[in-house]
Amino acid sequence: MALTSSLLLLFSISFVQLQFLAEADDQFVQSSAAYYPDSAQNGTSDGSCGYGSFGATLNGGDVSAANSLYRNGVGCGACYQVKCTNAKNCSDNGVTIVITDSGASANTDFILSQLAFSQMGQTTDAGTSLLALGSVNIEYRRVSCSYPNKNITIKIDESSNFPDYLAFQIWYQQGNQDITAVQLCETVNLTCKLLNRSHGAVWTVVSAPSGPLSIRMLLSGGDEGDETWVVPVNNIPQQWKAGDVYDSGIQVN
Query: At closest approach, how far in Å is the CB of 225 from ligand NAG?
Result: 27
102 vs 151 by CB, closer to ligand NAG: 151
User: How far is 168 from 205, CA to CA, in rounded Å?
Assistant: 9
25 vs 125 by CB, closer to ligand NAG: 125
Query: At closest approach, how far in Å is the CB of 54 from ligand NAG?
Result: 10
4 vs 189 by CB, closer to ligand NAG: 189
29 vs 250 by CB, closer to ligand NAG: 250
Closest CA to 60 of 112, 131, 109, 137: 112
The contact set with ligand NAG (CB under 6 A) reads: 40, 42, 56-57, 60-61, 87-89, 123, 125-126, 129, 149-151, 186, 188-189, 191, 193, 195-196, 205-206, 211, 233, 247, 249-250
Query: At closest approach, how far in Å is the CB of 58 from ligand NAG?
Result: 8
Query: At closest approach, how far in Å is the CB of 169 from ligand NAG?
Result: 16
For 14-38, the DSSP string reads: HHHHHHHHHHHSPPPEEEEEEE-TT
User: How far is 76 from 100, CA to CA, in rounded Å?
Assistant: 6
Query: At closest approach, how far in Å is the CB of 10 from ligand NAG?
Result: 37
69 vs 166 by CB, closer to ligand NAG: 166
Query: At closest approach, how far in Å is the CB of 197 from ligand NAG?
Result: 9
User: How far is 116 from 93, CA to CA, in rounded Å?
Assistant: 12
| Helical ranges in 121-249 per DSSP H | 124-133
Q: Which residues contact 77 (CB under 8 A, 6 or more apart)?
A: 49, 98, 99, 100, 145, 170, 171, 173, 179, 201
Residue 236, SS3 per DSSP: strand
56 vs 230 by CB, closer to ligand NAG: 56
| Helical ranges in 87-173 per DSSP H | 114-118, 124-133
Contact at 8 Å (CB) between 193 and 206? Answer: no
Cis peptide before 37 (omega within 30 of 0): no
228 vs 251 by CB, closer to ligand NAG: 251
CB atoms within 10 A of CB 223: 10
Query: At closest approach, how far in Å is the CB of 122 from ligand NAG?
Result: 8
